[in-house]
Amino acid sequence: MRIMMNSTQVSYFTLATYFDTGVFKYLYFLIILSLYVFIVCANLLLIVVICMNRSLHEPMYLFLCSLFVNELYGSTGLFPFLLVQILSDIHTVSAPFCLLQMFCVYTYGSLCGNIINIVYCDNYSIMKLACYETRATVLTYMC
């Protein structure tokens, strides 16, 4: 008995949303880079202040500290990739890096849970964990 497997090997994805911004790409790059540097510096400063000042070791400040760490994680999952894409003339991403970014984005927003109620990982289950409205996705899969 011979089993035929239907599989497609994708090594990269093309991001069609990006468009040629011409000479403005350097301006956009500098704006986004400045925003990212500000986010990193501000969150690190706040984390260090809370960690170093013993009087701020209260539940509310520790909660705020966890939010600052979460912000660092989420922005680091998005901004470096965005900066590379702004400067790039060919807007492609390798499949493993795309999956890594998808993992970062989903885990960034998963204050909601980490238990999958089925025996395999799928997009629908991950989106449910990430507190994402899944009705639109189900309709997309059905069409």
Structural domain boundaries in the chain: 15-100, 109-143
Comparison of pLDDT for 104 and 64, the residue scoring more: 64
In the predicted model, is pLDDT for residue 132 greater than 60?
A: no
In the predicted model, is pLDDT for residue 143 greater than 60?
A: no
> Does the global pTM surpass 0.85?
no
Query: HSE (CB half, 13 Å, CA atoms) of 35?
Result: 14
Q: pLDDT digits over 28-51, tens only? A: 999 999 999 999 999 999 999 999
The radius of gyration of the chain's CA atoms, rounded to the nearest angstrom, is 20
Rounded to 5 degrees, φ, ψ at 114 are -145, 25
Query: Which is it for strands 12-14 and 92-94: parallel, antiparallel or unpaired?
Result: antiparallel
CB atoms within 10 A of CB 127: 17
pLDDT (0 to 100) of residue 4: 55
In 3-state terms, what secondary structure has residue 112? coil
Contact 69, 47 (CB under 8 A): yes
pLDDT (0 to 100) of residue 36: 96
What is the mean pLDDT of the segment spanning 8-26?
A: 77
pLDDT (0 to 100) of residue 31: 96
Say which residues have a Cβ less than 8 Å from residue 136's Cβ, sequence separation at least 6: none
Say which residues have a Cβ less than 8 Å from residue 100's Cβ, sequence separation at least 6: none
